[in-house]
Chains A and B, each alone.
Chain A
Amino acid sequence: MRLRLADLLAPALMAAGLVAPIGSQGWTAPALGCAVAALAGAALSLRRWNRALEHGLSLLALFLGACAPLIVLQGPGPFGVEAPGLWLFLGGWTLLLWLRLEALARLPGRGVATLVAPALFGVAVLYLWQVLVVGFAVPQVLLPSPAQVGHVLATRMDILWPDFRQTFLKAVLAGFALGSALGFVVAVVADRIPFLKRGLLPLCNLLSAMPIVGIAPIMVMWFGFDWQSKAAVIVVVTFFPMLVNTLAGLASADAMQRDLMHCLAAGYAQTLAKLRLPTALPFIFNALKINSTLALISAIVAEFFGSPILGLGFRISTEVAKLNVDVVWAVIAIAALAGSMFYGLIAAVERACTFWHPSYRS
């Protein structure tokens, strides 16, 4: 049983926090109770019982330790620089968290076990955000607390859901599907006509360096203010990654497999269907994943250039102007969640279709 400096430092800092000044009210009874229990848990977990007990005790200590500052912060302020005790305690708590994350990182695990560490990290970040914002009385205009953002999400769904429907369900999905399909078709045609491929690829590299969201005002001029212009922007944005990746994928079948098709006297269509398209699938899915995030971002930015009274981008730009930063963060949270789920869906389909690819084998 070897103790590192860090193992001792964490409880030490927490203990120091209990004695240092902590603002006008000090540690109230429930807060003190949680803090002491956390300290005890942290000290006990040092003893290295069996693995599960060690993890369990630490996590319990972390949870109770997290409750303490929250309870303290309910009281009247001011905190901030006048409550060094609170920050000492929190510092110790963060160190404890880090050590626990280290231990969890060493957990051998696949599947759900790999999600534990990042989940804990994410929750911890939200928690620290909340505590720091409230503790230092950060103006809401600068950075709202997670609680405020959560409140908006819970109460303002009446405007947020139509925004989401407009941007995501209409513009993003339509633009993504059409742009990716076009990219795919042009790639197959260019593959059949090498002259076209040689002429098109350098141009595509040039055009993909262009900030394509800049065509948003032009699309608004052509297609009007509604979701169609945003979908048009997405079509252009998603076209190029799909084209480039599909071409790369179609060229990726190795020489021996193509020779085999030649020996079996397979025609172009048969070779395409049986060999080159399956080989191109990993590349195509790569492009689809890239396009999923690009589509969402482009839709939102395109809405900055003009939109009817709906849309996630529209909501962001108007609420920013009104300095309702919590609503803006709520919109961002929705967009991030939608984007992650879209990406995750594509990754799941990819796994089902390209299960045979070496990257899935350890």
Chain B
Amino acid sequence: MSPSDSLSHAALAPQLSAAPVARSAASAVAATPIAIDIRKLALTYQTADGPVVALSEIDLSVRRGEFVSFIGPSGCGKTTLMRVIADLATPTAGEVAVNGVSPGAARLARAYGYVFQAPALYAWRNALRNVMLPLEIMGMPAAERRARAEKYLGMVGLAGFERKHPWQLSGGMQQRVSLARALAFEPDLLLMDEPFGALDEITRDHLNEQLLRLWQQTQKTVIFVTHSISEAVFLSGRIVVMSPRPGRILEIIESRLPAARGLDVRETPGFLEVAHRVRQALRAGHSYDD
């Protein structure tokens, strides 16, 4: 068993799992390196109407191999926080370390893959060439690029669709190509900004299952921004609940569901309990107020 697998098992509550708990659970957790370290992060930007505090006093640590969700109402800063990690936005105070270096250095080292809300595919390239884009930028030789791209398209279930152009694919398929593109250069870290938000629920559920399987297969660190409580609880090990502007972390909720879970887990009491706690945290943070 790999370290991340033992980690997820170690985090299980005894009454939910029949799997044996690793004896060295505590030391395994302590030994796992920290992928993202955020301390006292704040971001204020200037608008015509004065300064707007997007993030204030964010403290968070994410370990390698974790699946962490950020959830909160619109405008709570979850996307801004992820953009700071990705070096797409600059904080006005505080510190961020990605793999021990600054976000800028991590970006230049191509340490993460970013999946946007929209597929952001290039219409003039077919699916295969879209997935090959990061590899071209990195200067990988052609044959290797092709092999990698085909592998990852297969991994997201789109084998056979290599020569299709984006407009020939459905929304869900386009988003899967976008995911394959983010995986293609094999970064350790995946940053996903509401990737399934624009899709219908059935496609979304299907892609949730696929993403979970992929994560378990590749053991990457995933930061996942979402609006959907059930998605956050289904996918993640930890759920970071954020408050409306100014963005603060209200609560970090652990979700210990069995590793081999399908969509049906959403009807189990354990799932509902965690979802309930998330909703309570959101309500306490005034997310449901007028």
Contacts and interface: CB of A to CB of B under 8 A. Distances in A.
A265 B110 contact: yes
A257 B87 CA distance: 15
B107 A263 contact: yes
B124 A260 contact: no
B263 interface: no
A256 interface: yes
A263 B114 contact: yes
B116 A356 contact: no
A114 interface: no
B253 to A, nearest CB: 29
Given A356-B165, A361-B167, A263 B118 contact: no
Given A256-B116, A275-B122, A356 B137 contact: no
Contacts of A270: 137
Interface in A108-123: none
A264 B187 CA distance: 11
Interface string A347-359: 0000000101110
B88 interface: yes
A224 interface: no
A211 B22 CA distance: 83
Categorize the interface residue count of chain A.
20 to 34
B133 A274 contact: yes
A274 to B, nearest CB: 7
A266 interface: yes
A266 B107 CA distance: 10
B284 interface: no
Contacts of A259: 88, 114, 116, 120
User: Which of A257, A262, A263, A266 neighbours the largest number of chain B CB atoms within 10 Å of its CB?
Assistant: A263
B137 A257 contact: no
Contacts of B107: 262-263, 265
Contacts of B124: 278, 354, 356
A257 B133 contact: no
Nearest to B106: A265
A261 B118 CA distance: 15
Interface in B118-145: 118, 120, 122-124, 133-134, 136-137
A111 to B, nearest CB: 20
Nearest to A259: B88
A356 B114 CA distance: 24
Contact of B137 (A265, A357, A358): A265
Contacts of B41: none
A256 B110 contact: no
A264 B120 contact: no
B86 interface: yes
User: Which of A259, A262, A265, A354 neighbours the largest number of chain B CB atoms within 10 Å of its CB?
Assistant: A265
B137 A274 contact: yes
Contact of A274 (B87, B112, B113, B136): B136
Contacts of A262: 87-88, 107
B260 interface: no
A103 to B, nearest CB: 34
Nearest to B182: A263
A266 B165 CA distance: 23
A266 B117 CA distance: 21
B165 to A, nearest CB: 6
A354 B167 CA distance: 13
A139 B132 CA distance: 69
B30 interface: no
A358 B117 CA distance: 20
Contact of A263 (B112, B117, B122, B136): B112
Interface in B158-172: 165, 167
A69 to B, nearest CB: 52
A204 to B, nearest CB: 28
B137 to A, nearest CB: 5
B108 interface: yes
Contacts of B116: 256, 259-260
Nearest to B108: A265
User: Which of A262, A356, A358 neighbours the largest number of chain B CB atoms within 10 Å of its CB?
Assistant: A356
Contacts of B113: 263
Given A262-B107, A264-B110, A256 B118 contact: yes
Given A265-B137, A270-B137, A274-B137, A257 B108 contact: no
Contacts of A260: 114, 116, 120
A356 B110 contact: no
A165 B137 CA distance: 46
B123 A257 contact: no
A257 B122 contact: yes
A355 to B, nearest CB: 8
A354 B123 CA distance: 9
Nearest to B83: A259
A264 B140 CA distance: 14
A230 B261 CA distance: 75
B119 to A, nearest CB: 9
A357 B88 contact: no
B122 A264 contact: no
Interface in A238-262: 254, 256-257, 259-262
A257 B120 contact: yes
Interface of A: 254, 256-257, 259-266, 270, 274-275, 278, 354, 356-358, 361
22 contacts: A254-B120, A256-B117, A256-B118, A259-B116, A259-B120, A260-B116, A260-B120, A261-B137, A262-B88, A263-B88, A263-B107, A263-B113, A264-B133, A264-B134, A265-B108, A265-B110, A274-B122, A274-B136, A275-B122, A278-B122, A356-B165, A356-B167
The 8 tightest CB contacts between A and B, nearest first, are: A356-B123, A263-B114, A356-B124, A256-B120, A266-B137, A265-B108, A264-B134, A278-B124
